Amino acid sequence: MELIKTACRALTFGHRLERARPRLYRIAYAWTRHPEFADDLTQDVLYRALQKRHQLRDMEALDAWLVRILHGRWCDVLRKRYPDAELDDVVDDPANTPDRVHSNSELVQNVRNAVSSLPVGQRTVLTLVDLEGFSYQTVADLLDLPIGTVMSRLSRARRQLKHLLADLAESELGMVDAHDKPRRHLRRVV
């Protein structure tokens, strides 16, 4: 009977991991800006989760546990790539990543580029809060940061994105008259 219970738990765990995969990939892609690397990172997280499933005490905390593993693996990669840098100060060069495959929409690509230009710490928090919907407290727990740090990084990231996207809109829309008011176009984003 115990063998059956163990098999059922393992099957349930496997199904939950499979359902979590797309979300993990989205987060990894937002952080790495490279589809193949994001896929490799996601696979690594799922493999590690399978190996360490005995460490998960509460199945309801699975998503947070997986994101914590993902964050740890991403930090390991950054530490190897930038051994002497403080992670909050690292700004990856988006020109070094060939990730322009996924976007059909110019607007989506512009937003991705703006997010990519953020420092790693800001990009990490922005992704978890604004794109994946985690609460400030959950993000603070996941990243082992004070909630005030999460809030300040998110605020700086949003302010920087607003500035970047406003500059982009002005340059793309052009000027309409001598008062330098940008021409406004409404676009439908599908």
Separation CA 58–CA 78 (nearest Å): 29
Give 67: exposed, middle or buried? Use CB within 10 Å, 0-12, 13-18, 19+. buried
Residue 179 or residue 13, greater confidence: 13
Tell me what pLDDT residue 68 has.
93
Tell me what pLDDT residue 103 has.
38
Separation CA 184–CA 20 (nearest Å): 40
Averaged pLDDT, 154-174: 82
Instruction: Tell me if the pTM is above 0.85.
Output: no
Residue 82 corresponds to which tokens in the numbers above? Answer: 């930038």
Separation CA 62–CA 13 (nearest Å): 9
Separation CA 102–CA 4 (nearest Å): 43
> Residue 159: CB partners within 8 Å, gap ≥ 6?
none
* The amino acid at 27: I
Residue 37 corresponds to which tokens in the numbers above? Answer: 């690397």
Residue 85 corresponds to which tokens in the numbers above? Answer: 């840098």
Separation CA 166–CA 31 (nearest Å): 23
| pLDDT tens digits, 87-127 | 676 666 554 444 443 334 577 778 888 888 999 999 999 99
* The amino acid at 87: L
Place of tokens 């992670």: 87
Please report, for residues 22, 48, 101, the alpha-carbon distance to residue 52 in angstroms, rounded to integers and kept in the order given.
Answer: 20, 6, 34
> Residue 79: CB partners within 8 Å, gap ≥ 6?
87
| pLDDT tens digits, 38-61 | 999 999 999 999 899 888 888 888
Burial 144-154 (b: 16+ CB within 10 A, else e): ebeeeebbebb
